[in-house]
Amino acid sequence: MKIVTWNLNSRTNNKTLENQCSYLLEGEFDIITLQEVLMVSQDFFKNFFSRMHSVSSFDLVEDKSVLERNRKFGQLIISKNPIELLERCKEIPFPERVLSGKTGILEVHTTHIPPGSSNGVIKVKHFEGLYNYLSRRKDSLKLLTGDFNSPKFELKDGEIITWGQKLGKSGKPRIAINPKWKHQCTGERWDSAERSIIENHTLLGMKDAFREKNGYEDFSGSWFTNQGQGRRYDHVFTSHQIDVENSFYDHQPRINGLSDHSPLIVELSIR
């Protein structure tokens, strides 16, 4: 089974959308999960992949007037098999930022966690709500994919540095958050929220597909700052019963300007 997850960077230009779709079609993926889809672009993808099955988080929003500014981003799941929508994750501030469906015997959950720099404690509440939601489904055979805007860094020994921490001059991490949000949230809570999934996904019966295959010696960012600092924000977590055959970031679409994120491709087999 071949999976891809990709943040599309909310592109709306028809030529770019066509190139994104062509890339995904050529990949012959069994399951496609997409983030930062817009109302205007979801129809483009649904029409292009009309021979497959697709669901959008926008389909579940009754009052579309809320879908503006920081809430204009949705998720899309496309599969070769029919998709049954699952119970919504209602414990997060922006419900359209999580989409859950069942295709075949596999649950697929995809998310785009709001960046803390522009959303503050909303990011923390999203991590907390998503963890609670998944904890009720930990016995299900599942994938969790998407753009998590975390971690800040990963060290070669496997240690994770969250956005609730800073690295001192000695290289030792300490609890600290953006001063803009210090009255909304403690650094300890922020750190714990990000770790709930990025580090403690094992408590949900899941493993990190990229690290499972590549270890921590292989650093590979999926999004890069203007200074060239890579962040591995895009992830696929799988149930332990699923074997990871291959897992890598394809940087060429990002280099070619199709998005500011590199898609993560994972090949899996279910025991």
Amino acid letter, residue 222: S
Instruction: Find the length of the chain.
Output: 271
Mean pLDDT of 255-263: 98
* pTM for the predicted model, two decimal places: 0.97
What DSSP string runs through 196-251?
HHHTGGGGGTEEEHHHHHHTTT----SEE-TT--EE--EEEEEETTEEEEEEEE--
More confident: 218 or 66: 66
pLDDT, residue 53, reads 98
CA distance 77 to 239: 18
Nearest-10 crossing angle of helices 14-26, 39-48:
40
CA distance 186 to 21: 41
Query: Average model confidence (pLDDT) for the chain?
Result: 96
Structure tokens at 24: 């995904």
Mean pLDDT of 109-131: 97
% of the chain residues with pLDDT over 90: 93
For 155, phi then psi, to 5°, come to -90, 160
pLDDT in tens, 45-75: 999 999 999 999 999 999 999 999 999 999 9
pLDDT in tens, 134-189: 999 999 999 999 999 999 999 888 899 999 999 888 888 999 999 999 899 999 99
> In the chain, what are the domains?
2-151+198-270 (3.60.10.10)
pLDDT, residue 218, reads 77
For 180, phi then psi, to 5°, come to -60, -25
What sections of the chain are H helices per DSSP? 14-26, 39-48, 116-119, 121-135, 187-198, 209-214, 252-255
Cα maximum dimension of the chain: 55
Q: How confident is the model at residue 219 (pLDDT cuts 50, 70, 90)?
A: confident
Collect contacts of 89-94 with beta carbons under 8 A, ≥24 apart.
Answer: 89/129, 89/130, 89/133, 90/129, 91/128, 91/129, 91/130, 91/132, 91/133, 92/125, 92/126, 92/129, 92/130, 93/122, 93/125, 93/126, 93/129, 94/70, 94/122, 94/126
Distances (CA, A) of 176 to 114, 160, 182, 228: 19, 14, 9, 23
pLDDT, residue 217, reads 78
Would you call 98 helix, strand, or coil by DSSP? strand
CA distance 40 to 108: 23
Nearest-10 crossing angle of helices 187-198, 121-135:
40
Structure tokens at 126: 């999203």
Instruction: Compute the C-alpha angle 225/112/78, nearest 5°.
Output: 115
